[in-house]
Amino acid sequence: MSAGVLCELTWVLTSAYEAAGEEVARTVDQVLRTRQLQVERRDQVRAALAQYKSSKADLADCLIGQLCLEAGSDETVTFDQDAARLRGWRELDG
């Protein structure tokens, strides 16, 4: 499962099914534990899931931040106030 598909899954769960954050986290955790699924960037997804559980940011934002860290970025900028509170993020003044 690609990281993009995982982000789409969380979007569908919250948008179409109105799933709460706890349900989204449980679902992503189940995906990570399913041996039959290969998850792209599994370690970064796990780290993003941990951030997601302890913040108000979307899982996609948490994953973007983890991927930026892996790529060597010192800082990720965003217009999203919740994502800006994550370690390594900064809010971009609009």
Give the SS3 label for residue 62.
Answer: helix
- Domain ranges for the chain, please list them: 3-91
pLDDT band per the 50, 70, 90 thresholds, residue 93: confident
What percent of the residues of the chain are helix, what percent strand, and what percent coil, each to the nearest 5?
A: 55, 5, 35
For the chain, how long is the longest CA-to-CA vector? 44
pTM over cut 0.85:
yes
55 pLDDT more than 90: yes
Express each pLDDT in 1-42 by its tens digit: 999 999 999 999 999 999 999 999 999 999 999 999 999 999
Note the pLDDT of residue 29: 98
